[in-house]
Amino acid sequence: MKNFEIFRKKYKKMIKKMYLGSSLCKKMIFKSFSRFNVVSTLLFIVLAITCGYVYLYNEGVNVSDVNVAQISNLYAKDSEGVCDLYDGKWVLDESGTYPLYNASQCPFAENSFNCLANGRGDKGYLKWRWKPNNCDVLRFDVGVMLEKLRGKRVVFVGDSLSRTQWESMICMLMNGVDDKKSVYEINGNKISKKIRYLGVRFSTHNFTVEFYRSVFLVKIGSVPKHSPKRVKSTIKLDELDGIRSKWIDSDILVFNTGHWWNRAKLFEIGCYFKVGGRLKLGMSTIDAYTTALNTWASWVESMIDTDRTRVFFRTFEGSHWSGPHGHTCKVTKMPTFGSKSEYRSQFSDIIKKVVNNMAVPVTAMHVTPMGSFRSDAHVGTWSDNPTVPDCSHWCLPGVPDAWNEILFSYL
């Protein structure tokens, strides 16, 4: 947000000078050509544009980059404060814009997340748009984004929630492609929950959108000799995942991890932490998560060329499990409209702190408050296995589309 404010002030100053410059040009023209109204009007228009162009050129601004959409976005702020894309509410949008795609027509949307195809009757959850309090997220323009991504490599790294965002992005972009067969998985693979790599190529625009499954981001390690019998596996908190080299040469790099950092997926199945080759049996998941995130941050600082690669880390997504043991999944018909402070995540707080302390530019996408309102948008029993309710993942189309709209606004 600090960088945004700097750019806002810069553009405000620039536009003000452009206006003064064009006003000066206008006076010059009308003084010289006052008797020739038609000609003077035309000359004024030409000269005003020229003055503006010359100013931008002298200021070192790429004129092709200054367009109405960007300037509108910079000024999409009211008097109450600067734009925080993550401080807002969900608003009902009846314009026909949403949903942004039909999951049944997108071959890269998992059946597990296609709630309508799996029998969900109500469609109200598809009509909600994320609205920041003091500004607006730029409306998604598929044609603009296809061109913006031409020749690039977009990489998502993380758990199944990262895979959901990856699927959402592909489906959003496919709406702008006439020849759907020109979009294909590089290795001919079908989407799988277990596969470690999936890459979809948009051949007409020469870019790929890839997903690497790395649920902890750090490396799964071996069990040291003479370990207690309860130790079945370990997580090496001081070493990043072995597939990390695959993430380096990318243009847009989006990370996430969080949902596997709990007792059920760690201690209850005999998985414990290891640092420096030594077991840390008493280490909490919060301390372990912090150590892992610092390992990730050090790797990004040393291995990623942030002049080329835009790096993002999406914060922990809110789930809505309830009941005495957290096993009840009740999907509502409407979003909740409580305070965002009702849902906080220690994981998200750690992500923001680590990112803020990094020596290179990384953007934390703080989507945690957004998800906390959407108890209506989870898969629930509308998956390909209705006997297993799901209050962690999101229906597609749905909440992950809003994450991608924000991601596109950064680009």
Tell me how far apart the 2 most distant CA atoms of the chain are, in Å. Answer: 99
Write down the catalytic residue from 136, 160, 287, 298: 160
Cβ pair 312, 408 in contact under 8 A: no
For residues 301 and 139, give the distance between their C-alpha atoms in angstroms, rounded to a whole number. Answer: 32
Q: 226 an active-site residue?
A: no
Residue indicated by tokens 């959409």: 69
Burial (CB count within 10 angstroms: exposed 0-12, middle 13-18, buried 19+), residue 359: exposed
Secondary structure class of 185 (helix, strand, coil): strand
Q: Which amino acid is at 120?
A: R
Q: How far apart are CA 301 and CA 305, in angstroms?
A: 8
Rg (Cα) of the chain, in Å, rounded? 25
To the nearest 5 percent, what fractions of the chain are helix, strand and coil? Answer: 40, 20, 45
Cα distances (Å, whole numbers) of residue 355 to 43, 177, 255, 301, 349: 52, 35, 12, 11, 10
* Cα torsion through 315, 352, 76, 394, rounded to 10: 10
CA distances from 299 to 155, 251, 328, 395 (A): 16, 17, 39, 33
Place of tokens 């509308």: 382
Burial letters for 19-38: b for 16+ Cβ neighbours within 10 Å, e otherwise?
eebbeebbeebeeebeeeee
> Considering 320, 366, 393, 401, which one is annotated as catalytic?
393
Active site includes 160? yes
What is the residue whose two structure tokens read 């807002």? 88
Catalytic residue status for 241: no
Query: Mapping DSSP to helix (H, G, I), strand (E, B) and coil, where does residue 3 land?
Result: helix
Contact 260, 159 (CB under 8 A): yes
* Residue 133: C-alpha distances to residues 31, 74, 318, 394 (Å): 46, 14, 20, 24
- Residue 157's region, left for phi above 0, alpha for psi from -120 to 50, else beta, is beta
Query: Which of 159, 376, 390, 401 is flagged as catalytic?
Result: 390
Residues with a catalytic annotation lie at: 160, 390, 393
